[in-house]
Amino acid sequence: MSKGVSTSTDKIIVDKSRSHRNKAVSKAVRATRERLQAGPSNASGFAREMLGLHIDAMLQGAIAMPLFLFLVTGVGVYLSQTLDIVAWGLMTLCVHGIGILLARRAKAREINAEKVSHWRRRFLIVQIGLGLCWAAFMLQDCDSCGEVNFGFYQGAVLLIALAATAMGTFLLSNALLFTFIPVVLVLAGLTLKTGSPGYMALTAVVSTSLVFLVFMTNRMHRSNIHILSMQSEKDDLIAELEVAKSMSDEARRRAEEANLAKSRFLASMSHELRTPLNAILGFSEVMSTEVLGPLNNPIYKEYTGDIHRSGQHLLDLINEILDLSRIEAGKYDLNEEAIHLVEITEDCIGMVQLRARTKNITITEQFEHGMPAVWVDEKSMRQVTLNLLSNAVKFTPSGGEISVKVGWTAGGGQYLSIKDNGPGIPEDEIPVVLSAFGQGSIAIKSAEQGTGLGLPIVQAILAKHNGDFILRSKLREGTEAIAILPSKRVLQSIPAVEDAPAIERRRKSFA
């Protein structure tokens, strides 16, 4: 037999022969859990992800820095009327190019957790190189363009560079600080050397802006870590849901297979059992009634009666099991028609009257006559009524009394109530009695054995009719079973339309 087919009948939910279906999602769950356990609330847990985002940001904005440098160099040449600043522009462009090449190299390789700090140091070195280039920019001088104009130009360029670097490197922790610390040191040195108020003001503005932007980039960095943490938790939840869905699909498949096997078993066994039962019931009845001649031994006649009763009990059990199985499988179709609940109840009372008389049980009737018909399945309602009456007769002791009522409910529906003065059912055993094959302990001891399927079938049939079933009982005080049909099942009679007077024909006038 192939290993891919499961032949086990155990109750394990996930079929081990189909474990390859769950392998991918289980692996994803384990990987996500390990990543979350590594510290999702801090930067170390997502250092690799943050570095990857920084590399992507560098590659996507690679063209922005060269354009900015060309603009700064062009304005500087225009103001100074010399080409001295071109060398600075080429140097800064080379450092930026080194950073882009480094990012491309890192993108082409798979950076594992051990090499994250190594690559991070490389990118920080590139940022320090850019910081030295901006520091060199502040050392540029222009004798012909005036101190105020060139100082304003340098300050504006420096603030733009500071903002652009903050936006481009907030994913790399401390990158902004490493980039502009050399610039602040150079500005502080120029301020001390020259004592110029312009350099002093520029130093204060750049330092204040650096502190503010460092604070903001740190906030943005933590926000991105939080977003990554939430994304990881979402991935973990999705993986868990995938596993749960896979398990539920497997459980549903196994349940469908079990249900199909049960249906096939019931169909096969009902046929196999009913065929010999027909012979058992027929021949035992012929022998007990002595149709073909008397039995010489009276004990044999008693035995044939026992055989007939046992066979009838087995046939009833098979029919009840099949009815309950059809109801649970949703294959119990209702053949609805208009019937009167009082008439059905009177017929069913006549069926059980002989058995009640043998036990000297009195059946009292209290019906509300003149009630309209109800739209129900007649066969099902007869089964409900017979089951309730049979239970009442079965569990009522000799000389007892059964009260049968049919009337209106407060909501406009109709009800059937059957109350006996039998041994009753303890209140904690009522849910057991309403379950399949469930029986009350006192009733089992004080009456003949039953199948335990009558009340569950009654409850299921009433549910198919959108009705309710109420079972009230107290120990040694009797039991009352109430079957309720909703008001929408009641067919209200429509009064006849009164004859309207004939409309007189209007005479035409010719004016």
pTM attached to this predicted model: 0.47
pLDDT for res 300: 82
- Half-sphere exposure (CA, 13 Å, Cβ side) for 380? 27
* Residue 132 token pair: 């030295």
Q: What pLDDT is recorded for position 9?
A: 36
Q: Which residues contact 76 (CB under 8 A, 6 or more apart)?
A: 85, 89, 140, 153
10-residue averages of pLDDT along the chain (511 residues): 39 41 58 54 65 85 88 84 84 90 87 82 89 86 66 84 86 85 88 83 87 88 82 79 85 83 70 77 83 81 83 78 71 82 90 88 89 89 89 87 92 91 83 74 56 79 89 86 91 61 54 41
Distance, in Å, from the CA atom of 271 to the CA atom of 265, rounded to the nearest integer, reads 10
Yes or no: say if 440 and 426 are a contact pair by the CB < 8 Å rule.
Answer: yes
- Tokens describing residue 214: 């460092």
Cβ atoms of 86 and 73 within 8 Å: the answer is yes
Cβ count near 340 (within 10 Å): 17
Cβ atoms of 381 and 344 within 8 Å: the answer is yes
pLDDT value for 13: 35
At 336 the pLDDT is 87
Helix (H) or strand (E) holding 69: helix 64-80
- H or E element, residue 389: helix 378-395
Specify the pairing of strand 401-408 against strand 362-367.
parallel
> CB-based contacts of 57: which residues, under 8 Å, 6+ apart?
168, 171
Instruction: Tell me if residue 479 falls in helix, strand or coil.
Output: strand
| Count of other CB atoms within 10 angstroms of residue 164 | 14
What confidence score (pLDDT) does residue 18 get?
46
